[in-house]
Amino acid sequence: MVQMSTQMSAFEAADALAWLVTAGADCPVDAVPRNWLAAPAAVAAPPVLQASPARAPSPARAPLPGAAAPQASANPAVALAAAALSLASLADAVASFDHPLRQAAPPQLISGDGAVLVVTDLPDEDLAVQRLTQRMLAAIGLESGACRQLNLLPWAPPAGRPPREPELAAFAPFAARAITLAAPRAILAFGGNAAALAGESGGIATLRGRWLAVGGVPLLATFHPRLLLKQPELKRLAWADLQAFAARLGA
């Protein structure tokens, strides 16, 4: 075997490598000769790990004294609403419900009488909104006393701000129970929050004028009178919705 000097220039090393490639060398060799034709040595099997003895399941821990049992729902309104067997008892349950919007004034959840249920998001203190609401209902024969009115929130939020989603969700069990107890023939929903009772996605511009349903009760949504005062051009569409609602009642 020819022993090559380790003192090579870069050009000499390149020439030597090129010569080896030309000669057919395709892999390097170790300093100790290796028999490449010998069968590979058997790979030793990994040691078998001894399984640890199975532990007996730990007994269930008893609840600590005084610990509260897990609740089926985080909203306490669910149990209060379900226990109400009449609209009067439901009003008492709402009055006893602790809520950030609670005020000294009696809650306004549902009022009136009749086979038609008008749903709004909250009681309006604006006289202009109240008058327009009465005129809209009277135009289709739903004067005062001919329909019930349900507020999704029994108290209006402070400073005239719109209701927030958690506030509406807190009272949702009461609203659902009120619809069940009132058993209306049809529901007229004012605004997007009331229209959302049907469980359909989309705002009021998408849901208005379409016949939806809540627990099998037909529901028709239209613009809230509060919005109509700000955008009078929508009154034409709202009047068409009211006419469709009246035609359904007449049929």
Looking at residue 95, what is its pLDDT?
A: 87
Quick check: 65 pLDDT over 80?
Answer: no
DSSP bridge partners of 64: none
Say if CB 221 and CB 195 are below 8 A apart. yes
Q: Which residue did the predictor score with more confidence, 187 or 51?
A: 187
% of the chain residues with pLDDT over 70: 70
To the nearest 10°, report the CA torsion of 134, 163, 114, 216. Answer: 130
Spatial distance between the Cα atoms of 121 and 63, rounded to a whole number of angstroms: 42
Tens digits of per-residue pLDDT, 71-126? 445 778 899 999 999 999 999 999 888 877 888 777 888 999 899 999 999 998 89
Looking at residue 52, what is its pLDDT?
A: 46
- Specify the pTM: 0.69
What does the buried/exposed string (b/e) look like for 25-62 if buried means 16 or more CB atoms within 10 Å of the residue's CB?
eeeeeeeeeeeeeeeeeeeeeeeeeeeeeeeeeeeeee
Spatial distance between the Cα atoms of 220 and 241, rounded to a whole number of angstroms: 8
Spatial distance between the Cα atoms of 79 and 77, rounded to a whole number of angstroms: 6
Quick check: 28 pLDDT over 70?
Answer: no
Tens digits of per-residue pLDDT, 130-148? 999 999 999 999 986 789 9
Looking at residue 60, what is its pLDDT?
A: 42
Looking at residue 223, what is its pLDDT?
A: 97
Spatial distance between the Cα atoms of 63 and 158, rounded to a whole number of angstroms: 42
Every domain of the chain and the residues it spans: 77-250
Looking at residue 250, what is its pLDDT?
A: 86
Spatial distance between the Cα atoms of 105 and 122, rounded to a whole number of angstroms: 14
What's the CATH number for 77-250?
3.40.470.10
pLDDT confidence tier of residue 57, bands split at 50, 70 and 90: very low
Quick check: 20 pLDDT over 60?
Answer: no
Looking at residue 118, what is its pLDDT?
A: 96
Looking at residue 148, what is its pLDDT?
A: 93
Query: How high does pLDDT run on average in the chain?
Result: 80
